[in-house]
Amino acid sequence: MDSLQLLGWSSMALFSIGLVGVVVRRNVLVMLMCMELMLNAVNLALVVFGQRAAAMEATVLVFLVFVVAAAEIAIAIPIVLLLVRRRRSMDADSYMELRG
Amino acid sequence: MIHSLLLYGFLMASLAGAAAMLVLRHPMHVALALVATMLCLAGVYAMMGAHAVAIFQVLIYVGAVMVFMVYVIMLLDVRDPSLARRFSGLLWPGAIAGIALVTWLGRDAWEGLAPFVAGEPVTLQAFAVALLHDYWLHFELVSILLVAAVAAALAVIAVGRRPRG
């Protein structure tokens, strides 16, 4: 009864929700959390196909993705703190001069 | 039967938590919704037989990353203009593009994939042996990456403390 369609579709839907969240929300921290959601969605797809193939490599890769996510958040949070300290705002629209 | 029920229940709960992240106003509520989503995903992993991944999901994501995030939300002043106006000017284009993406990708994902048949469950012992025996180099490289990340975080904070002028 377990369906690969549903699992794959859920992973894709989670990724889309994360992507929409990064685009539509204003708060920098919320955008960061939506990025984490996208990473989780990719992990779900990786685990689903890894379990289907009974591949140990997939589990190791998921573990490495976890560690990279931790490293990413360890750098992203200080950058956000720095921006908020400079501009006194968590609104992404107040960093308009960053555009090219 | 109960197994499938739990799997789909966790899956639906994770999708509901993700959808709640889009509409909740306060960053702390969004963080709690994300924690709920991650816990439900850990349940999905456990139901699929990937027990090691489920444990790491709870320990690393919920235990470390999200606790860090919650602390930062408590540290920052959240009475912010972004609270009164949740959505940016890209709300409608973003929402329409998101629905289009789900429909387009979802149709292929729905029609193109075979039924899921779980393989052998990955035990923690087999995973530990594989990680430290076959993939020891990756393990060490990742530890270097973590040290570099900590050094970079300290450097970013140091830039913020430098007197301007």
One-letter amino acid identity for B96?
I
* Per-window interface: A 27-86 vs B, CB < 8 A: 27-30, 32-34, 36-37, 40, 43-44, 47-48, 50-56, 59-60, 62-64, 66-75, 77-82, 84-86
Tell me whether B117 touches chain A (CB under 8 Å): yes
Tell me whether B81 touches chain A (CB under 8 Å): yes
**B143 burial via Cβ count (<10 Å: 0-12, 13-18, 19+):** exposed
Task: Please state the rounded mean pLDDT for residues B76-88.
Answer: 74
Domain A4-98: which topology?
Helix Hairpins (1.10.287)
d(CA B25, CA B84): 8
3-class DSSP assignment, residue A91: strand
One-letter amino acid identity for B94?
G
d(CA A70, CA B42): 17
Could you say which DSSP state residue B122 is in?
A: P
Closest CA–CA distance from residue B2 to any residue of chain A (Å): 11
d(CA B32, CA B27): 9
The whole-model pTM stands at 0.88
**Inter-chain CB proximity B65 and A70 less than 8 Å:** yes
Structure tokens at A37: 């959601």
Among candidates B14, B98, B130 on the partner chain, residue whose Cβ is nearest the Cβ of A19: B98
ipTM confidence: 0.91
Per residue of chain A (100 residues), give pLDDT as tens: 457 788 888 999 999 999 999 999 888 889 999 999 999 999 999 998 888 887 788 889 998 999 999 999 999 998 888 888 887 778 877 777 766 5
Domain B1-82+105-123: which topology?
Four Helix Bundle (Hemerythrin (Met), subunit A) (1.20.120)
